[in-house]
Amino acid sequence: MSSIERFVVIMLFDGVDLVDVTGPPEVFTLLEREMDGETGYRVVLAAETTDPVTTSARVRVLPDTTFEEVARRRIDTLIVPGSVDVDAERRVHARVDPAVVAWVKTLAARTRRLASVCVGAHLLAAAGLLDGKRATTHWSTAQQLAADHPSVEVDADPIFVRDGGVWTGAGITACLDLSLALVAEDFGEPAAMSVARQLVMYLKRPGGQSQFSVPTQVASTTRRMDDVRHFITQNIAGRLTLADVAARAHVSERHLTRMFREQLGTTPASYIESTRVEVARNRLETTDDTLERVATVSGFNTVDTLIRAFRRKLNTTPTEYRNRFRHRAG
């Protein structure tokens, strides 16, 4: 049972991305169920008025309260989603409403921890809250963010970035990854992993994972392939052979290779190596494990093998990767 109230405010305004709004509450609610007790999270949706807000998906959402009301309280976590406009050439531009920016600035002054989701980073930047900080946003508006706010160190690659008490997340479903990271900060990695399993997220993606990471680009098309991928993830530290995976799928090795090529556009060996790299990335970003330990838990077994895989998949070394993406202290 938690004796700490964690008052979480999610901002609402016309055109806001619906998933950005609904994703974080799902994570916090699942945590309460997984812990079988009170977590202290109290999530409210706040807008300028309590009138329904029309989201980008044309679904209307009813705010719980107003910006003016929550401005009277201490806020534990303020989550700022975003919205976009699309021009005639189908180019995407982050929408920056001066009235919303003013409320972001007001509420942030009463907030312990600040987080933006997707293009919400543009609202934080316009409020001056990202000056001198490293931040990310959806890849489609990263150039706009960098051009509009030269004082912000924009990194379009990561899933999310933490710089002190300010967190910025990449596009849309990355709100789940960012929310899991907030849970991990509050309750530890095991609690966050438990929620990730309930969300059927085979890997809790680290902030440093690229928005264009191999495992997030592929999508299986059959239940059998889903089961195979889950088996690989669950046994990644062991010696996974083609025969092992084929036996799990109840197919021949030749047929398994054909399945991977047709459904995922890769080979079983390449997919396993990519998954091991993702596990290693997570450890490098979130722990102080030695390279020997990282190599062991990710199934590479030796540091030399780990380094070769990083050079092949990411064009960097594990040490360089850790130096870039290790979470900064709050």
Every domain of the chain and the residues it spans: 6-198, 213-330
One CATH from 3.40.1160.10, 1.10.10.60, 3.40.30.10, 3.90.79.10 for 213-330: 1.10.10.60
What is the rounded CA–CA span in Å between residue 118 and residue 18?
11
Question: Which whole number is the average pLDDT over 37-65?
Answer: 95
Convert the pLDDT of each residue in 130-154 to its tens digit: 999 999 999 889 999 999 999 999 9
DSSP letter string, 133-198: -EE---GGGHHHHHHH-TTSEE-SSBSEEEETTEEEE-STTHHHHHHHHHHHHHH-HHHHHHHHHH
0.95 exceeded by pTM: no
Instruction: Report yes or no: 180 and 27 within 8 Å, Cβ to Cβ.
Output: yes
- Rounded to an integer, the average pLDDT of 284-299 is 92
Count how many Cα atoms sit within 13 Å of the Cα of residue 146 in the half-sphere of its side chain. 12
Helix (H) or strand (E) segment spanning residue 43: strand 41-47
Query: What are 156-204's pLDDT values in tens digits?
Result: 878 888 999 999 998 777 888 899 999 989 998 888 888 888 886 645 5
For residue 85, what are its two tokens?
């406009």
pLDDT of amino acid 329: 35
Q: Which CATH number fits domain 6-198: 3.40.50.880, 3.40.50.980, 3.40.50.300, 2.102.10.10?
A: 3.40.50.880
pLDDT of 214 over the 70 cut = no
Q: Return d(Cα 177, Cα 169) in angstroms, integer.
A: 8
Please give the Cα distance from 119 to 139 (Å, whole number): 9
Q: Label residue 297 by pLDDT band (50, 70, 90).
A: very high
Q: What is the pLDDT of residues 76-120, one digit of tens each?
A: 999 999 999 988 888 889 999 999 999 999 999 999 999 999 999
